[in-house]
Copies of this chain bind each other. A is one copy, B any other.
Amino acid sequence: MKLVSFIGSGNVAWHLAPALDNTDFAVREVYSRNPAHAAALVDKLYEADVKTSLDFSDSPSNIFIIAVPDDAIQSIVQEIILPDEAILVHTSGSQPLSALGYAAIPGIGVFYPLQTFSKSKKVDFADVPIFVESENPGTEKVLLAMAKAISKNVHQVTSQERKAMHIAAVFASNFTNHMLLIAQQIMKENNLNFDWLKPLIAEMINKSISIGPEQAQTGPARRGDFEILDRHMEFLQNDEQRAEIYKVISQHIIDRYH
């Protein structure tokens, strides 16, 4: 059995720590700048303790998982004190492996679960793709075993590939969601019910995932219907930024298909 310590108790740790705790990678410690947050996560685990300092020199753990916002990783790495032969990983989509270089130990790696996590919503890790990276063969082996303990969907990628994937994920997830927000706002401004769009949204995503977004594309820009595009731009003219978004995406669709 490997023992694991978490640095961070945010959305990723909140789901990842209990998932690991049910496997041969038992969680023993949770550190957070806010000990109350660490305590809340510890409550969900079998035998873990709250850790209030980053001095892990006496820790029983082998694996230290940094699950904090990207801009907090550097200061953690500079402060943390690890036991001998520790493995140190981060869980970020956009930070390179070298973000852990300051730790000056051989056992560094990345353990990136590609999913959107919120504390209120349960996640089934079995289907969450996990991307592992390490330049140390022993560390890589341990991280692959840890990933496979919770997911059927484990892959090895380089820092550069992970960065590309993270940008693709921003388009596929964050920007997609923002399109839904704009749709919701337009409905609201016109006293229409956002719920009316939900069957369309669900069907469109199903179609896009099953036949692929290229085949699934419909709409005035796809058809090259400039009359409708002009009328929509006219409708949107009271909100310059929204009109700009409509224009650049429509233009991109037109250029792609015509």
Residues in B neighbouring A246, C-beta threshold 8 A: 167, 170-171
Q: Does A128 contact B (CB under 8 A)?
A: yes
Structural contact, A94 and B228, CB atoms closer than 8 A: yes
Of A58-66, A79-87, A133-141, A214-222, which stretch is located at the interface? A214-222
Residues in B neighbouring A160, C-beta threshold 8 A: 190
| Residue in chain B with minimal CB distance to A128 | B199
Determine how many copies of this chain the complex contains. 2
Structural contact, B180 and A115, CB atoms closer than 8 A: no
CB distance from A232 to the nearest CB of B (A): 5
CB distance from A124 to the nearest CB of B (A): 9
CB distance from A240 to the nearest CB of B (A): 11
Residues in B neighbouring A197, C-beta threshold 8 A: 114, 165, 168-169, 172-173
Q: Which of A202-216 contact B (CB under 8 A)?
A: 202-205, 207-209, 211-214, 216
Of A20-28, A32-40, A181-189, which stretch is located at the interface? A181-189
| Residue in chain B with minimal CB distance to A255 | B241
Query: Assuming A121-B207, A178-B253, what are 10 further A-B pairs, CB within 8 angstroms?
Result: A69-B223, A114-B200, A168-B192, A169-B183, A171-B246, A172-B197, A174-B217, A178-B217, A184-B214, A201-B205
